[in-house]
Amino acid sequence: MKTGVFLTFENEFAPLGGLAAVMRVLPKRMAGQWNGPCVTITPFFREIMKCRPDVLESIHPAGIAFSLNFGGDTHAVSVRRHEDARGFRTYFVDSPAFFNAPCDCGDPPGAEAPCNPYVDPADPSQLLRDALFFCAAVPHVLAALRFTKNLVLCLQDWETACAAMTAKQDARLTSVSCVLTLHNAYDRRVSAGDWRVMTDQRISGRTILTKMAAFLDGPVCTVSQHFAHELKHDPVQRKIFAPQLQKVFHTRAICGVDNGTFREIDFPGETRDRADQGDYRPLLKEKAKRRREMVKHLNAYAPAHAWGSLDFRDFEGPVFLFCGRDDPRQKGYDVAAAAIRRVPAGRARYIFAPIPGDEGVEGLLFLKKLAEERAGEVKVFPFRMTRGYEALQGGASFAVMCSFYEPFGSATENYAVGTPVVARATGGLVQQIVPCSSRSLTALVKKMSRRYHAVSAPPTGFLYHERTLNAKATERDWRKILNCGYWPRRCDRVVARSSIPVFQSMVEQAAAALRDAAELYETDQARYARMIANGFHMLEKFSWETAVRRYREVFLDL
């Protein structure tokens, strides 16, 4: 009998993005199929959790306490426990000097206290220190819980990877297998001084993941089949984000395990049944109702920190929604802003709900400029929305993801509420979106799509991709985009990247996809309704049962 232990830095009680969404579901689903104990161990982010007193009240001392030498100092560590209604247990590592990412519980939270487990604006080195401390503490927690043999540690991203070493080198633990799952390609360079804070042992490698490669078992996993392919073959991943991992992928292989869906269908069953029979009137009526609810919310919700305005008087055209954390090296909000400028004024309405990233709100000022240029057409909520987001997602005509890369993506979340998707063809989005035949659909996108979808598969949205340049020019341009050289000079992100050919091509193709989506919405509501109905059926292809089975196959081979 094996004990399964999910180690995750981000969790459902201190969430930020996709990792928390996966960890909210996968460990519990795995526990239902696991022949033995299965738990989660994660940091206790006290400042973030205090914003949810109801949750905090359900987390109790686990009766475990120990001292840990770290960086030459001795730190007191205690363990807390949460048990859900089905008996699944989450254990939290708590220590006063760690996991103090600030959160002011505001709506929106302030820039100096963004409620982000990865960021402390006053202490940029906090993340690495927290991650190393967590990994140093894990073996002590396992021993105290009497999980000491036949262990499978399911490590999530670089922040928990060092637990592979600390667990395998702890004499109290025997027969430990460690599997790494990458929810993105991020790694972390670590200096000799930083490394010595956790251990005096010299391990080859300049980054956390290269140091830990020798301690891993089985393949490296990731969250979609296409992202697994890209990690080895796409120039952005292979040459820029993860060149140091190519040897690891060659030695251990990489296994793409598609996530399941993150939400249940939120659309009347009878309406969906009628659509399957070819009657789209109830579906369009429901979608129109959700649009009215969205407009009502937007008219009533006027936070001081929002930018721009939306005029829906006598406007029946499409509404495009852009959302997610602003990572200037991933999300492509600048592509979206530049693309909108290429769509005729008055053609659509655009709503942005970006969660500020490392560049803070200041890094999103190019969206404020867009909102000023397109008065009445663009609204920007540059903060984590704590209310009303569901109304926007359900009422929008299309959700848009201009991502440079997307390990899994959130297309399925939008399908669940009846919203088709426009996206760059990358990562898991290639698997989730069957592209509509349109002027913007290129031969390259068709080729990518046919790896996962039949030619006759019914469309669920629009996919675009920049034109192909030669390999050397592509790598050069991507390096210019991703080095964020504009930021030290506080230049406008859009202006700084607009002269780069790859960026220009992305903007051209994104604008074409937006125009094609707008045209479909304006001229063929029946076809638009079919696209919504097709999205509901696409959800059937992404199940947690399948994900659990695939992970079990990996674990059983160890």
Domain count, the chain: 2
- Does residue 90 contact residue 42 with C-beta atoms inside 8 Å? yes
User: In this structure, what CATH number is given to the domain that contains residue 296?
Assistant: 3.40.50.2000
- Supply the pLDDT for residue 65: 97
- Supply the pLDDT for residue 469: 80
Which amino acid is it at 34?
Answer: W
- Asked whether residue 555 is domain-assigned, the answer is no
- Does residue 172 contact residue 148 with C-beta atoms inside 8 Å? yes
Rg for the chain (alpha carbons), in Å? 24
Using the predicted structure, report yes or no on whether residue 108 has a pLDDT greater than 70: no
SS (H, E, C) 184-248: CCCCCECCHHHHHHHCCCCCCCCEHHHHHHHHCCCCEEECCHHHHHHHHHCHHHHHHHCHHHHHH
Confidence of residue 327 (pLDDT cuts 50, 70, 90): very high
What CA–CA distance (Å, rounded) separates 554 from 548?
Answer: 10
- Asked whether residue 232 is domain-assigned, the answer is no
| Cβ contacts of 45 within 8 Å, gap of 6 or more | 13, 14, 99, 100, 101, 103, 117
- Does residue 226 contact residue 451 with C-beta atoms inside 8 Å? yes
Q: Are residues 276 and 358 in the same domain?
A: yes
Host domain of residue 124: 3-217
What residues form DSSP beta bridges with 6? 40, 154
> Up-side HSE of residue 235: CA atoms within 13 Å toward CB?
14
- 3-state DSSP assignment of residue 256: strand
Using the predicted structure, report yes or no on whether residue 116 has a pLDDT greater than 90: no
- Does residue 207 contact residue 241 with C-beta atoms inside 8 Å? no
- Supply the pLDDT for residue 55: 85
Using the predicted structure, report yes or no on whether residue 11 has a pLDDT greater than 70: yes
Confidence of residue 18 (pLDDT cuts 50, 70, 90): confident
| DSSP-derived secondary structure letter, 325 | E
What CA–CA distance (Å, rounded) separates 261 from 411?
Answer: 9
- Model confidence over 372-429: pLDDT tens digits? 999 999 999 998 787 889 999 999 999 999 999 999 999 999 999 999 999 999 999 9
Q: Are residues 304 and 198 in the same domain?
A: no
Confidence of residue 122 (pLDDT cuts 50, 70, 90): confident
Mean pLDDT of the residues in the chain: 95
**Predicted TM-score of the model (pTM):** 0.94
Q: What is the DSSP string of 79-147?
A: EEEEE-TT--EEEEEE-TTS----B---SSPPTTSB--TT--TT-TTHHHHHHHHHHHHHHHHHHHTT-
249: nearest Cα among 238, 258, 236: 238
Using the predicted structure, report yes or no on whether residue 350 has a pLDDT greater than 80: yes
Using the predicted structure, report yes or no on whether residue 522 has a pLDDT greater than 80: yes
Confidence of residue 107 (pLDDT cuts 50, 70, 90): low
- Model confidence over 59-91: pLDDT tens digits? 999 999 999 999 999 999 999 999 999 999 999
- Supply the pLDDT for residue 530: 98
Long-range contacts of 65-71 (CB under 8 A, 24+ apart): 66/140, 66/144, 68/95, 68/133, 68/136, 68/137, 68/140, 70/132, 70/133, 70/136, 70/197, 70/198, 71/197, 71/198
Using the predicted structure, report yes or no on whether residue 1 has a pLDDT greater than 80: no
| Structure tokens given for 296 | 């009502």
Mean pLDDT of 107-135: 87
Torsion of CA 323, 324, 325, 331, to 10 degrees: -80
- Asked whether residue 244 is domain-assigned, the answer is no
Other beta carbons within 10 Å of 525: 16
Q: Are residues 205 and 300 in the same domain?
A: no
| Structure tokens given for 457 | 């598969």
- Asked whether residue 72 is domain-assigned, the answer is yes
Mean pLDDT of 498-504: 97
- Asked whether residue 253 is domain-assigned, the answer is no
Share of the chain above pLDDT 90, in %: 85
Burial (CB < 10 A; 0-12, 13-18, 19+), residue 556, is exposed
- Asked whether residue 82 is domain-assigned, the answer is yes
Helix axes 18-33, 544-556, angle to 10 degrees: 70
Mean pLDDT of 324-353: 96
| Structure tokens given for 6 | 């999910």
Q: Do you know the residue count of the chain?
A: 558
Question: Which residue is listed with tokens 């540059």?
Answer: 382
- 3-state DSSP assignment of residue 462: strand
Q: Are residues 46 and 172 in the same domain?
A: yes
Q: Are residues 200 and 313 in the same domain?
A: no
Domain termination site, one of 200, 217, 234: 217
Using the predicted structure, report yes or no on whether residue 111 has a pLDDT greater than 80: no
Most distant pair of Cα atoms in the chain: their distance = 72
Share of the chain above pLDDT 70, in %: 100
- Supply the pLDDT for residue 62: 96
Q: Are residues 179 and 287 in the same domain?
A: no
Q: Are residues 152 and 291 in the same domain?
A: no
What residues form DSSP beta bridges with 39? 5
Q: Picking from 72-76, 117-121, 278-282, 329-333, which range would have the lowest pLDDT averaged per residue? A: 117-121
Q: Are residues 383 and 304 in the same domain?
A: yes
| Structure tokens given for 69 | 């030498």
- Supply the pLDDT for residue 383: 87
- Does residue 232 contact residue 246 with C-beta atoms inside 8 Å? yes
Other beta carbons within 10 Å of 353: 20
Cα angle, residue 84 at apex, residues 82 and 85 outer, rounded to 5°: 150
Q: Are residues 388 and 478 in the same domain?
A: yes
What CA–CA distance (Å, rounded) separates 76 from 274?
Answer: 61
Q: Are residues 193 and 312 in the same domain?
A: no
- Model confidence over 212-258: pLDDT tens digits? 999 999 999 999 999 999 999 998 999 999 999 999 998 889 999 99
Other beta carbons within 10 Å of 440: 23
Q: Are residues 326 and 430 in the same domain?
A: yes
Which residue did the predictor score with more confidence, 215 or 55? 215
Q: Picking from 52-66, 103-117, 147-161, 186-200, which range would have the lowest pLDDT averaged per residue? A: 103-117
- Asked whether residue 388 is domain-assigned, the answer is yes
Confidence of residue 330 (pLDDT cuts 50, 70, 90): very high
Mean pLDDT of 499-507: 97
- Supply the pLDDT for residue 483: 94
Q: Are residues 359 and 487 in the same domain?
A: yes
- Asked whether residue 262 is domain-assigned, the answer is no
